[in-house]
Amino acid sequence: MTAMTLTQSFVTALLQIVVLALFVFVAVPVIVFAERKVIGYVQLRLGYTRIAGGLHGVTGGLNRLMWWMGKLPFFSILRGFPSFIADGIKLFTKEDIVPEKADWWVFHFAPAISVVAAFTVLGIVSFSPAPLWTWPAAVPIVGGLPFAGVISDVNVGLLMLVGVASVGVYGIVLGGWASNSKYPLLGGLRSAAQIVSYEVPLTFSLLVPVVLSGTLNFTQMSQYLSGAPIQTSAGPAQMPALAILPLFIGFFIYLTCGFAETNRVPFDLPEAETELVAGFHTEYTGMKFGLFYLAEYANMIIVAAVAAAFFLGGHHFLPFGLQRFIPPSVPVVGGASFGWFLLWMALILFSYLWVRATLPRYRYDQLMHVGWKWLIPLSLANLCLAALVRYFA
């Protein structure tokens, strides 16, 4: 492959960004839909099958469509999905209210900070090991060039991810502060305390695969988890059999902290309705609220992607390095592909909804208790275990 010119690399990256943004904009309504349905099914309900409104106009058409879908064998499970159109219309057309005493600039920037932090992180996640497709030669600038599954395969990917993702908390804190109202302020402060506390065990548990493999790169980590030998700056590494133990414990610590990082149940203290109205986005309306919403779900996608890449085998079928027992010559499950990564992401996202439907919210002191007295010592012990495995095996 000849080296790309500056224009070519620029256009390729731009196209990748557009595709990634479209992916997020498609994935978020799907997650919202799945969330309502999963919680409904768990509670022996059907989830939502209609939207507010009558039988006339846009809402009426959607209601009739969903009623018709209910009679079909497969589509009856998807009933309710067309209502994301109504959700979108509502978010975009609602009146955008800015409180009179709010800090105008900060109030408008806070949702943007959240969204930008979330989307930036997605840029370094390696979704596919091989290029997704090659542009045909007829395409003007990028003809003949591959369309890679990752926008920029940074060699310190994890470091950048942890760094940029924690900027997202500024959006929440500043949004809460700029609203000039007591409930958003309390919600923002809670969120800051919670995210700062849980960042520590989260990073410790992410260090486990890093210590084992000696790489921070998404693609190399995926190769390592498949049992293949990799060459890193810290020397060659191949996964020992015992490495499954710290990876397994680390995965559950990571998932717990991931729930707390994205302010999801059972750690959704910043949005505790019974205490804080709606938390930091109480004063936000219209699309600015929509951006916070989007950032929350994009963060969920990031946590799922990182869990998939660093614990669950990345682009491979079996998690925790069990992939080594399947030789790469086996047709589908042996190889690395885009589909397995999406599958693992989907499973993690499902576990988010499953946990939300099952567990009640923690009290604030319990939250801090769990974070500081249990998860941090546990993740440190796990890290030591990983270091021992790395040293002796």
Partner 1 sequence: MASFLRTLIPLDIYGGMKLTGKYFGKVLREANRARIRTHVVCEYPEVPVKLQPRFRGRLTLLKDEQGEIKCICCLACEKICPTQVITIEKGKKEGRKLPYPVRYDFEMERCIFCEFCVESCGFDSIILNHQFELAAYNREDFSIGMEGRFQNMFELSPVARYSVAEEAQR
Contacting positions for partner 1 (CB under 8 A): 38, 40-46, 49, 55, 64, 67, 70, 73, 76-77, 354-355, 357-359, 374, 378
CA distance 270 to 251: 24
With respect to partner 1, which residue has the nearer C-beta, 157 or 266?
266
With respect to partner 1, which residue has the nearer C-beta, 77 or 189?
77
With respect to partner 1, which residue has the nearer C-beta, 64 or 363?
64
The least CB distance from residue 9 to partner 1, in Å, is: 45
The least CB distance from residue 348 to partner 1, in Å, is: 14
- Residue 290, helix vs strand vs coil: helix
Q: Which residue has the tokens 């600015």?
A: 288
CA 307 to chain centroid, in Å, comes to 9
The least CB distance from residue 67 to partner 1, in Å, is: 5
CA distance 98 to 310: 41
For 162, the token pair is 């942890």
The least CB distance from residue 368 to partner 1, in Å, is: 15
The least CB distance from residue 259 to partner 1, in Å, is: 12
The least CB distance from residue 70 to partner 1, in Å, is: 7
Amino acid at 118: A
Q: Which residue has the tokens 């440190």?
A: 380
Distances in Å between the Cα of 338 and the Cα atoms of 94, 116, 154, 295, 344 are 38, 25, 19, 24, 10
Peptide bond into 266 cis (omega under 30): yes
With respect to partner 1, which residue has the nearer C-beta, 39 or 228?
39
With respect to partner 1, which residue has the nearer C-beta, 41 or 170?
41
The least CB distance from residue 378 to partner 1, in Å, is: 8
CB 326 within 8 A of CB 286: no
Cα dihedral 136, 140, 141, 143, rounded to 10, equals 10
With respect to partner 1, which residue has the nearer C-beta, 177 or 259?
259
Q: What are phi and psi of 213, to 5 degrees?
A: -100, -30
With respect to partner 1, which residue has the nearer C-beta, 49 or 180?
49
Element (H, E) at 162: helix 157-165
For 90, the token pair is 């509502």
The least CB distance from residue 293 to partner 1, in Å, is: 24
The least CB distance from residue 384 to partner 1, in Å, is: 16
With respect to partner 1, which residue has the nearer C-beta, 41 or 364?
41
Task: List residues bridging with 237 in a β-sheet.
Answer: 230
* Residues sharing a CB contact under 8 Å with residue 258, sequence separation 6 or more, in sequence order: 202, 303, 306, 307
Number of alpha carbons in the 13 Å side-chain half-sphere of residue 262: 25
293: number of Cβ within 10 Å: 20
With respect to partner 1, which residue has the nearer C-beta, 10 or 252?
252
With respect to partner 1, which residue has the nearer C-beta, 10 or 374?
374
CA distance 290 to 300: 15
For 344, the token pair is 């693992």
Amino acid at 164: V
Task: Write down the H helix ranges in 166-285.
Answer: 168-178, 182-213, 218-225, 244-261, 273-276
The least CB distance from residue 13 to partner 1, in Å, is: 40
